């Protein structure tokens, strides 16, 4: 029942857009991203641009984790000798490296629950497919592990014309009766070549 004059009730009352996935009896809820983020993820799938690094980053965002940087300074070492690399003044060359980690959201909860990396990736991929392709494709992935195959070429816009019906037997017979019999073409004799005058 609806209390709306136009027949459409409040969507939030009867529709839950979030994704609820269960591992070993515990339900984890992945909230749907806002419209802007949802469109961006859908476009990533449409452009078929989802490298391994991008996939992990998008999964972490969907499960509410944030990157916490941990910048450390270390000496640059020669890969062949292991000795420190020196600059022109004889001082050791240093470089900054980020040894940060993801934290927060479902990431912390799932790590505390002992969820494996593969299970977390499966949850994350299902959530990505849910946003990027749709709920049915996400359900197929959740149950089978299969990922949707994206079309390699863009689909033509609009509805394609239906294929013309194959002619039935009577139509083929009628067409054969109306068509004139084909005659074999007479061969023409090739013209004789005149001998060229001798120089």
Question: 156: alpha, beta or left, given left = phi > 0 and alpha = psi -120 to 50?
Answer: beta
42 has a pLDDT exceeding 70: yes
Domain positions in the chain: 11-65+104-144, 68-101
pTM of the model: 0.62
pLDDT tens digits for range 81-120? 888 888 888 888 888 888 899 999 999 999 999 999 999 9
Query: How far, in Å, CA of 190 to CA of 90, rounded?
Result: 92
In sequence order, what are the beta bridge partners of 67?
A: 102
Tens of pLDDT, residues 160-180: 555 566 666 666 676 666 656
pLDDT band at 35 (very low <50, low <70, confident <90, very high): very high
């Amino acid at each position: 029942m609806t209390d709306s004059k136009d027949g459409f009730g409040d969507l939030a009352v009867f529709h839950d857009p979030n994704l609820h996935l269960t591992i070993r009896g515990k339900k984890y809820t992945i909230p749907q991203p806002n419209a802007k983020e949802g469109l961006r993820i859908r476009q990533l799938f449409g452009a078929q641009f989802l490298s391994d690094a991008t996939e992990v980053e998008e999964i972490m965002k969907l499960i509410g984790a944030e990157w916490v940087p941990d910048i450390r300074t270390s000496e640059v070492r020669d890969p062949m000798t292991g000795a420190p690399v020196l600059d022109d003044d004889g001082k050791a060359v240093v470089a900054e490296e980020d040894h940060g980690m993801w934290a927060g959201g479902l990431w912390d909860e799932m790590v505390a629950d002992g969820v494996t990396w593969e299970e977390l990736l499966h949850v994350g991929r299902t959530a990505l497919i849910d946003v990027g392709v749709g709920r049915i494709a996400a359900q197929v992935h959740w149950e089978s592990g299969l990922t949707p195959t994206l079309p390699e070429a863009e689909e033509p816009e609009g509805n394609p014309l239906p294929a013309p019906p194959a002619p039935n037997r009577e139509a083929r017979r009628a067409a054969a009766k109306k068509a004139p019999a084909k005659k074999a073409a007479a061969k023409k004799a090739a013209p004789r070549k005149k001998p060229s005058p001798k120089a």
